[in-house]
Chain A
Amino acid sequence: MESTTPNGVRSVSAEQFHRSLRGRRLIGNAAVILFLGSTLVGLATLAALIIDVLIDGLSWIDWDFLSTYPSRRPPDAGLRSALFGTLWVGGLTALFTFPIGTATAIYLEEYAPRNRLTQFIELNISNLAGVPSIVYGLLGLAVFVFLLNLDRVILAGALTLTLLVLPLLIVAGREAIRAVPDSYRQGSLALGATRWQTVRHVILPSALPGILTGTILAMSRAIGEAAPLLAISGLVFVTFTPGHPFERFTVLPIQIFNWVSRPQLDWQHVTAAAIIILLLVLLTMNATAILLRDRFQRRSEE
């Protein structure tokens, strides 16, 4: 460090450099510890929750628990109706949300003129993503159940959840589309492809993995929601299996909410068992979406 430099003297002397380096390293190390600690807080909480639920509920899960209806006696209680309700509502919500959300994202990114109206719409879609879910529940109750006279049925629940998660998917979809390099777009248009052909054959295949990730997030939210569906369905004790979208229903979060509020000790186990099933449904759905995503990703990168 003491060797001569082109300017004769160093702007920062060797001694100064080493003195400050010690402090800089210390701050760097402290930052790493802080970040690691923050990560562990989240991880530890999650692990504690899962372990607690598994201890309480795992032994209660058997075929009967899945295939029987709710009962007043904890050992006889099952979640068949809630499970089918969740599958129905979740499936329909995915069916409605994916095309509408993707189409909206495509329109806003690829077609909408850049003016104040578009900006206003975009801003409000982001705002909608932050509206409390119970508000959607009341909106769904007013519009689908009463105004459209659908009654408190699966379809009304699915439409309500669609409204709830649509902004999430639109925001994620737009980001995925924006991430597609402009050079692809230009390359396609320069080959005489129309706008739609460019969207269909270049933009969408590249954006699809991101759109599917958005769908995963949106569906996880939808499957876990109790509040809006409580407003729509109002049922917690369903002893039939819904067979079509115009039947009444309950869903797992509502069933869990109902069970957890009962005083007897055994209901804790029933609740924990139901939570495990809900988590499994979520994991299965996410795994499917991830598999789909990887398939598309590989196809476009091979």
Chain B
Amino acid sequence: MATATAISAPPALSVRGLNLFYGGFQALKDVNLDIPPRKITAFIGPSGCGKSSLLRCMNRMNDLIRTARVEGQIMFDGENVYAEDADPTEIRFRIGMVFQKPNPFPKSIYDNVAFGPKLAGYKGDIGALVERCLRQAALWDEVKDRLKQSAYQLSGGQQQRLCIARTLALDPEIILMDEPCSALDPIATLAIEELMRELAPNYTIALVTHNMQQAARVSDYTTFMTVDDERSGYVVEFGETGEIFSMPKRKATEDYITGRFG
């Protein structure tokens, strides 16, 4: 259905024939998609079109929902994420995730960043790693004098950057961002968007957003999803963000982008 437009590098993640069910309800229908490496791919579409659900399939977070069932494949580094012998812990170690609401642990700023590497058995200089990640997340200057303070002393935007730093500490190949700015004010949103652009050359980012302007501002590629008559989500169109927004191939995309639908 969605065809990639002239992407030369092998995809970071390939979704093939993906169906997602919550009990008897089909949330995603036959999703086929290639996520280009070291680019930002945005997912837009009306509420309930399954864009967050699709994201949560990519690192098997849907496993936490008891009624969830997945058919099809998500190929990552030559392996199917949903293969019998695939280990969700390892997949989540390599594919990081940033959530809708900032969710730092009730621990110090330092411990939040050190959490992942420590539990994964990191043997190097944790302090240096924490500093590197906080710098990468453009948070270091704001927190360097209070690393031992609770993460909850930070503002919402800072907390979200801390969550990004925490994810970076595992050097993930892909970062899934599930509406990372929906709980933030415009200034904090801008800071996160700038951060995404800075990370893009080195990380593959999949960004779910309900904010079309945000998709247009930060993403390299855009996936438009919508729902069919049975409320099942599917991919309508995938392409370079400029093309999707200026000359979409499908009428549904155009209607949504121009505000006639959704």
Contact = CB atoms under 8 A, between A and B. Distances in A.
A, B from the same assembly: yes
Interface string A183-223: 11111111111100100011001100000000000000000
B6 interface: no
A288 B191 CA distance: 46
B119 A201 contact: yes
B181 interface: no
A258 interface: no
Contacts, number: 71
A206 B106 contact: yes
B170 A192 contact: yes
B93 A192 contact: yes
Contacts of B115: 188, 191, 193, 201
A19 interface: no
Interface string A161-182: 0000000000000000000010
Contacts of A300: 106-107
A300 to B, nearest CB: 5
A294 to B, nearest CB: 15
Interface size class of B (residues with CB under 8 A): 20 to 34
What is the predominant secondary structure among interface residues of chain B facing chain A? mixed
A301 B150 CA distance: 6
B142 interface: no
Interface string B144-176: 000011101000000000010011001000000
Nearest to B98: A190
Contacts of B103: 181, 183-184, 186-187
Contact of A183 (B66, B101, B116, B148): B101
Contacts of A184: 103, 105-106
B97 interface: yes
Interface residues of A, number: 22
Interface string B68-104: 0000000000000000000001101110110101011
Given A187-B105, A191-B166, 17 more contacts: A183-B103, A184-B103, A186-B61, A186-B103, A187-B104, A187-B163, A188-B115, A190-B92, A191-B115, A191-B119, A191-B167, A192-B92, A192-B93, A192-B170, A193-B115, A193-B116, A201-B115
Interface of B: 59, 61, 64, 66, 89-90, 92-94, 96-97, 99, 101, 103-108, 115-116, 119-120, 148-150, 152, 163, 166-167, 170
Interface of A: 114, 181, 183-194, 197, 201-202, 205-206, 300-302
29 contacts: A114-B66, A183-B99, A184-B103, A187-B99, A187-B105, A187-B163, A188-B115, A189-B61, A190-B96, A190-B99, A191-B93, A191-B116, A191-B119, A191-B170, A192-B90, A192-B94, A192-B120, A193-B89, A193-B115, A194-B119, A197-B119, A201-B119, A205-B106, A206-B106, A300-B106, A301-B106, A301-B152, A302-B108, A302-B149
